[in-house]
Amino acid sequence: MRKTASMILAAAVGLLLAGTAMAQERWPSRTITIVGGFPTGAGTDIYSRMLAEPLGKALGVSVIVDNKSGAGGNVGSEFVARARPDGYTLYFGTAGTHAINVALYGKLPFDVIRNFTHVTILGDVPNIMIVNPKVMPNVNSCADLMKLAREKPGQHRFASTGNGASTHLAGAAFTKMTGLDIEHIPYRGTPPAMNAMMSGETQVMWHQSITVMGPIQQGVFKPLAVTTRAPIAALPDLPTVEKACGIPGFESTTWYGLFAPANLPDPILRRLNQEVVAIVSAPEFQKRLNDLGITPMWSTPEEFRRRNEADIEVWRKIVADVGAKLD
């Protein structure tokens, strides 16, 4: 009896050891989790699910999405920063989680550069400056709006999807750089903010291109400018803020990118980068992203890390100029 038990135990230990050895030599051999820092249904969630399915096919394992939302994405970031770098926990990060939050929050319990392995950038999310033509019938360009705001100071407001969100920072940078008196009114996410644009409670907004493409195409909102340096594929005729509003050097876009915990073994990193880049650069995938208003992008891990490091400084300056602070 005792002998049988010990034999079973020995066999189990043997299997376990063999399993560990196999896992070390072959990645991936089990389910990979892409952690997200924002709630289900957010842009990050939609993109990560679009990515999870083909990535699972390419790697031959299932890839699932697990959102750990809270504190502007910091809850998810911290979880991944502390996870094991075994290639089974990945992070769908953004310029918000990995650059803006550094400036916005006094101190974070992790380092956005040193505690992460950068895999690849995934896309740029521009903000589009919109007005409601029913509320602002005479505004056909950014110049019209600026003229109106200058003639009637203190009578215009811009909506944002929350304090410190890209919609807030883009608008705040605009008012700061133009010196116009347009007041910031924060809302809890996209639905109430867009409704404020419908009811005329706010007159202008710099909304992320996702979810605003539909109302623009249907003529519900009039786009005035895009916050990128160059026009975007989804709205090729729309001028940049730099050009339309005459603000040299204006840029306010956020990116999406794939991360892993720090010290991800090099073979895993290379394979992951290669597969994800192949998926994102496929024409059909690019078209889907463009339809959502996301500019498809991909890079080497090094390029991605350098952009992240540079952006921390860019946003630190914007956040300091705007005077936004969270604690």
- Distance of alpha carbon 90 from alpha carbon 128, whole angstroms: 30
**Interface with other proteins includes 263 (CB under 8 A)?**
no
Q: Choose between 95 and 245: whose C-beta lies nearer to other proteins.
A: 95
Q: Which of 157, 243, 270, 316 binds other proteins (CB under 8 A)?
A: 157
**Interface with other proteins includes 24 (CB under 8 A)?**
no
**Interface with other proteins includes 62 (CB under 8 A)?**
no
Q: Choose between 171 and 293: whose C-beta lies nearer to other proteins.
A: 293
| The one segment of 91-99, 123-131, 284-292, 298-306 that binds other proteins by CB under 8 A | 284-292
- Distance of alpha carbon 91 from alpha carbon 272, whole angstroms: 13
Q: Which of residues 125-144 bind other proteins (CB under 8 A)?
A: none
| Minimum distance, C-beta of residue 243 to other proteins, in the bound complex (Å) | 26
- Distance of alpha carbon 277 from alpha carbon 119, whole angstroms: 10
Place of tokens 């009896």: 1
- Distance of alpha carbon 123 from alpha carbon 254, whole angstroms: 9
- Starting at the edge strand found earlier in the chain, the sheet holding 254-261 runs 63-67, 32-36, 89-94, 254-261, 116-125, 295-296
Q: Which of 14, 137, 153, 214 binds other proteins (CB under 8 A)?
A: 214
**Interface with other proteins includes 41 (CB under 8 A)?**
yes
What residues contact residue 68 under an 8 Å CB cut-off, 6+ apart? 35, 36, 37, 75, 76, 79
Q: Which of residues 77-136 bind other proteins (CB under 8 A)?
A: 78, 104
Q: Which of 162, 231, 239, 265 binds other proteins (CB under 8 A)?
A: 162
**Interface with other proteins includes 153 (CB under 8 A)?**
no
| Minimum distance, C-beta of residue 285 to other proteins, in the bound complex (Å) | 10
**Interface with other proteins includes 300 (CB under 8 A)?**
no
The encoded tokens of residue 61 equal 């394992």
Structure letter (DSSP) for residue 124: E
Q: Which of 198, 233, 262, 278 binds other proteins (CB under 8 A)?
A: 198
User: How deeply is 202 buried, as exposed, middle or buried, from its count of CB atoms within 10 A (0-12, 13-18, 19+)?
Assistant: buried
Q: Which of 58, 59, 61, 71 binds other proteins (CB under 8 A)?
A: 71
CA distance to 1, 131, 174, 183, per residue, from 198 (Å): 77, 9, 22, 17
- Distance of alpha carbon 47 from alpha carbon 52, whole angstroms: 9
- Distance of alpha carbon 92 from alpha carbon 153, whole angstroms: 41
Residues within the interface to other proteins (CB under 8 A):
39-41, 43, 45-46, 49-50, 52-53, 65-71, 74-75, 78, 104, 154, 157, 162-164, 183, 185-192, 194-196, 198-201, 210-211, 213-215, 217-220, 288, 291-293, 324-327
